[in-house]
Amino acid sequence: MSLVETDDVEGGESLSLHQRILSDIRDKILSGAWAPGHRIPFEHELTAQYNCSRMTVNKALSQLAKAGLIERRRRSGSFVRQPQSQAAVLELHDIRIEVEALGLPYRYERLERVKRRSGAEERALLGLAAPGPVLALEGLHFAGERPFALEQRLINLSAVAEAGEEEFLEIAPGPWLIGRVPWSEAEHRIRAMAADETIADALDIDAGAPCLVVERRTWSAEHPVTHVRFVYPAESHTLVARFTPSQG
Amino acid sequence: MSLVETDDVEGGESLSLHQRILSDIRDKILSGAWAPGHRIPFEHELTAQYNCSRMTVNKALSQLAKAGLIERRRRSGSFVRQPQSQAAVLELHDIRIEVEALGLPYRYERLERVKRRSGAEERALLGLAAPGPVLALEGLHFAGERPFALEQRLINLSAVAEAGEEEFLEIAPGPWLIGRVPWSEAEHRIRAMAADETIADALDIDAGAPCLVVERRTWSAEHPVTHVRFVYPAESHTLVARFTPSQG
DNA sequence: ATAGCGATTATGTATATACATATTGAAACG
DNA sequence: CGTTTCAATATGTATATACATAATCGCTAT
C-alpha cells in the first residue's frame, strides 16, 4: 500500500499529502466544478485515488468540514455546502502601528482618568451584572500634530486590579492590557456617527462631521475586561479586511 | 493502553479526547496560567497524562498551532505564542436577512443598469489589468418603506458572462452572484462618509449626514468578480463582529 | 578553544487497524 | 400495508507503529 506510484508528476511541490488532497478538493469547489450539493467522493474512493490511507483522506476532509466548505453526513457521504458563509477575518491593528505605517510620529495623550463605581450605563457597556469599581479613561492618539483617534475606555477593575495603579499618561491602555490580560472573547461594533461637540473639539473637526466609530468589548474567561470606543474622523480612517472563505 | 482509567470524573461532557486536551490547554493559556513563552508539556508527557496515544495529543496541539495560540519547534517543544493576533471574524450578512431580522418587509429595487467597457476608475475598483465589459448596477434595499441601504456595484462580465443577461430588477445582485460564483478571496473596506447629493437623495436623508460605507471586492480563483459599495445611513446600521482568538 | 560530527530528541506525516455511531435501505413481521 | 428490525455503510475517533526531518547537545579531533 505504500508503493507511492509517482504517477502524479503534476504537483511536484512540497505539500504534504493531506494538504494536497485538501487543496485539490477546495479548488474543485471554488472553481465551481463541484457545485453546492455535489457529493464528494467517499473516503474510500479518495483512498484509492490517491493511493493512501483513510486517515490521510480523513484529515483533509475533516479540515474542509471545519472550514465550512463541505458538510459530512454519516452513511451518506460528504457534500459541498450551499452558501459560502461570508466570514471575514478582520484585523484591528494597534493604532501606534497604524500611525507609524503612515510614516507619521505617534503620540498618546491622556485627557481624563477617573476611578469610580460603575453606573447602570457603564455596566451595560461592559456587560457587568453587578456594580463594581471601574476605571474610566479618555485619551487622544496623535499622528504627527493632528488628532488621529479619540479613545474612550472603561476597564473593569474587578478583573484587572493592577490597572487601578497605572496612570496611562503617555502609554495607551490598549497595548498595556494586551500584554497583561489574555482575551478569550471580544465583540466589535462598527458604525458611523456625526461628531458631537465633545468629539469635534477633541478631534479638531467640525461638529456634525462624519466619524467612524469602532467599539470593542473584551472578555477574559467569562469576565468582562474592558469596553473601548475609538472615534476616527471619516477622512483619516478605513478599516480593511482581506480574507478567504476557508483556511487552506 | 486502553484501560481508560476513568479517574477524571470532572469533565463528564461528550467531548472527544483530543478536543478535551485542546480546550484544557487553551484554557490554561487564556487564563494566563501559562504565560506567553511558557513551554507546553511534550507530546509524550501529555500522552502519559491523558493516558492516550501520541496521535491524539498531536491532533490537539496541531490545531492549537494552526489557530496561532502556540508555536511548535522541533526538538524544543511547543510554546505559548507571544502576542494575540487580534483577528476578528466579521460576518457580513445578507441584507435581506438583516432586514427581515428586524421584523420589517424587505424589498430590492433597481435604480440603474448599464453595460459598458470599463474605464480607468472602474478597472481600479475591480482590480482589473485590462479594459473589458462590465455591468454597472445601482439599487436600493428597503426595510419597509424606508431605504435601508444603497448599493453601487460593478460586475466583471469577463468573469461572469451570464450576469449580462440578468435584469436585476427585483433580485439583488449579491444573492444572485453568491449562488453562481464561488468566491475565493475578498476584501472589505469600511469607512464613514458624509452623504453627497446623490446618496442623500436615494436614501432620503440630509446631504452631509454621516453614512457607513462598506466596500467589498471579490475574486474567484484570481479573477476579479465584483466590486460593491453599500451605503447605510448612520442611524440604521451597525456592523457587529463577535469572535474568539482561536477556533476551539 | 572551536569547528565538525554524530547521537538524541521532539515534532511531522503517514499507515494499518479497530471499534463506535449514525443513518439508510431492505427484509421480516404483525 | 405499515411498522419494526437488522445489516450494510460512511464517517468519527482512537491506537500502535514507522520513518522523516529539524534542532540541539555533547563529544572528538584539529
pLDDT of residue B5: 34
* Cell numbers given for A80: 459541498
Q: Which chain B residues touch A188 with a CB distance below 8 Å?
A: 88, 90, 239-243
How many alpha carbons fall within 13 Å on the CB side of residue B39? 9
- Among A8-12, A243-247, B58-62, the minimum mean pLDDT is found in A8-12
Average pLDDT over residues A82-92: 64
Reference A190, options A206, A163, A212; nearest CA is A212
Average pLDDT over residues B34-41: 93
Q: Is B66 on the interface with A (CB under 8 A)?
A: yes
Average pLDDT over residues A69-90: 81
Give Cα separations from B220 to A89, B223, B235 (angstroms): 18, 5, 34
Q: Which nucleotides of C are covered by protein (CB under 7 A)?
A: 8-18, 21-24
Q: For the segment B97-135, what is each residue's pLDDT rounded down to a tens digit?
A: 888 878 889 999 999 999 999 999 999 999 999 999 999
* Cell numbers given for A45: 474512493
State the CB neighbour count (10 A cutoff) for residue A157. 18
Task: Please state the length of chain B.
Answer: 248
Q: Which chain A residues touch B85 with a CB distance below 8 Å?
A: 91
pLDDT of residue B64: 94
- Give the best residue of A64, A243, A246 to mutate against chain B (max B CB count within 10 A): A243
Q: pLDDT class for B85, splitting at 50, 70, 90?
A: low
Taking the C-alpha atoms of A202, A203, A209 and A210 in order, what is their torsion angle to the nearest 10 degrees? -110
Q: Which chain A residues touch B190 with a CB distance below 8 Å?
A: 190, 212, 238-241
With beta carbons less than 8 A apart as the criterion, state whether A78 and A70 touch: yes
Would the Cβ of A47 be found within 7 angstroms of any atom in strand C?
A: no
Report how far residue A162's alpha carbon sits from residue A160's, in angstroms, rounded to the nearest whole number.
Answer: 6
- Residue B134 CB contacts under 8 Å (≥ 6 apart), including other chains: B115, B116, B117, B118, B122, B126, B154, B155, B156, B157
Question: Residue A6 pLDDT more than 70?
Answer: no
Report how far residue B118's alpha carbon sits from residue B136's, in angstroms, rounded to the nearest whole number.
Answer: 9
* Cell numbers given for A222: 467569562
Answer left, alpha or beta for residue A103, where phi above 0 means left and psi between -120 and 50 means alpha: left
Q: Where are the alpha helices (DSSP H) in chain A?
A: 17-30, 43-50, 54-66, 95-101, 120-126, 173-178, 197-203
**Paired residues of A229 in beta bridges:** A152, A215
DSSP state letters, B71-128 = EEETTTEEEE-SSPP-EEEEE---HHHHHHHTT--EEEEEEEEEEEE--HHHHHHHT-
pLDDT of residue B53: 97
pLDDT of residue B101: 77
Q: For the segment B188-232, what is each residue's pLDDT rounded down to a tens digit?
A: 889 999 999 999 999 999 999 999 999 999 988 778 999 999 999
Question: Residue B247 pLDDT more than 60?
Answer: no
- The minimal CB distance from B212 to the residues A32, A191, A242 is found for A191
pLDDT of residue A83: 58
Scan residues 141-180 of A and list those with Cβ closer than 8 Å to B: 178
Q: For the segment B5-15, what is each residue's pLDDT rounded down to a tens digit?
A: 333 334 345 78
Mean confidence (pLDDT) of chain A: 87
Report how far residue B184's alpha carbon sits from residue A248's, in angstroms, rounded to the nearest whole number.
Answer: 11
Average pLDDT over residues B66-79: 93
Average pLDDT over residues A35-58: 96
Shortest alpha-carbon distance between residue A57 and chain B (Å): 15
More confident residue, B15 or A150: A150
- Residue B243 CB contacts under 8 Å (≥ 6 apart), including other chains: A185, A186, A187, A188, B87, B88, B89, B90
Q: For the segment A182-234, what is each residue's pLDDT rounded down to a tens digit?
A: 777 888 889 999 999 999 999 999 999 999 999 999 988 778 999 999 999 99
Report how far residue B200's alpha carbon sits from residue B7's, in angstroms, rounded to the nearest whole number.
Answer: 67
- Among A33-42, B11-20, B204-213, the minimum mean pLDDT is found in B11-20
Report how far residue A158's alpha carbon sits from residue A130's, in angstroms, rounded to the nearest whole number.
Answer: 11
Q: pLDDT class for B86, splitting at 50, 70, 90?
A: low
Stated in angstroms, how far is B3 CA from C19 C1'? 14
pLDDT of residue B98: 82
pLDDT of residue A237: 83
With beta carbons less than 8 A apart as the criterion, state whether A211 and A221 touch: no
With beta carbons less than 8 A apart as the criterion, state whether B25 and B60 touch: yes
Mean confidence (pLDDT) of chain B: 87
Question: Residue B180 pLDDT more than 80?
Answer: yes
- Using DSSP, state whether A232 is helix, strand or coil: strand
